[in-house]
Amino acid sequence: MALLPWREVVTPHPDVAAGSYWQAEFAADLAQVLSGKAEAEYQDPAEFFARTYLTEGMRLLLISALRRVAGTGGEPVVQLKTAFGGGKTHTMLALYHLLQGGGVGRSDGWRS
């Protein structure tokens, strides 16, 4: 059984399908989030986690960070090593929102 082309499996976001998006909108900016000037998809924790796929690596990093902050374990230093576009900034934003009390919805695959 052959895999279907991705275009037949997923539907792009309407602005992507219409070609009306700005490339810069896909670049998360930590400084803008900290200053409260980011787009809602990065600024608002609920919107951020609704649009962010939690990889196994990100999930484990967030769990480790929460354990460290709670004093129940966790790594004291974590080095994020990925290529450009590999999710470092999204991981840092997830950590920021989580530690600011933004939480992660159960529908996002969050399991401890």
Q: What confidence tens digit (pLDDT) does each residue in 68-95 have?
A: 999 999 888 888 787 776 788 888 999 9
Question: Which is more confident, 46 or 11?
Answer: 46
Q: Average pLDDT over the chain, rounded to whole?
A: 81
Collect all residues with Cβ–Cβ distance below 8 Å to 88 and sequence separation of at least 6. Answer: 80, 82
Among candidate residues 45, 46, 59, the one with its CA nearest the CA of residue 87: 59
CA dist 101 to 2, 67, 97, 110, Å?
A: 44, 15, 6, 15
Question: What six digits make up the tokens of 33?
Answer: 């989030």
Evaluate whether 78 touches 88 at the Cβ level (below 8 Å): no
pLDDT at 107: 44
Q: What confidence tens digit (pLDDT) does each residue in 34-51 have?
A: 999 988 888 999 999 988
Is residue 52 pLDDT above 90, yes or no? no
Domains of the chain by residue range: 29-105
Is residue 101 pLDDT above 70, yes or no? yes
